[in-house]
Structure 1
């Protein structure tokens, strides 16, 4: 990848696959975020594995990107959950 990439694209180009990231990118009518694991990348896009599905994000539409810490552990249901 070119050394002249804007900072968010440069970060995505250099990040190790498997890194947990959040990526803000343009969509028709505004912006949206993808939060998950960086699982693939090419010269033109990157793929983020979110909870719901893999999201392919064109690098040209990326506005911001950064690494994020692992998700917190899921809570166990408390005693009140059994009463519902």
Structure 2
């Protein structure tokens, strides 16, 4: 049986560069950050998404896990 870490503990022990998805609370509900973990400290973590670096307060984190690398990009079709 595999034992999973609580989300904050996972983020604080994951290696920088690990691809992660982090679900966290925002004013209107929940949102996800999918990208590469840059760092995780005592109070926040930073995830580099496709569009920006997102700093997430750990107190708002609901779930977090490692995810596989993205699939290769498809070549554009030529007509």
TM-score normalised according to structure 1 size: 0.86
RMSD: 1.1
- Partner in structure 2 of residue 31 of structure 1: 30
Unaligned stretches of 5+ in structure 2? none
How far apart in 1 are the matches of 2:65 and 2:46? Answer: 14
Higher helix share: 1
Displacement after TM superposition at 1:28 (Å): 0.2
Which structure has the larger Rg over C-alpha atoms? 1
The whole-number CA distance in structure 2 between the counterparts of 1:41 and 1:63 is 15
Runs of 4+ in 1 over 4 A off after TM superposition: none
Aligned length: 75
Gaps of 5+ in 1: 1-5
- Shift in Å at residue 42 of structure 1? 1.3
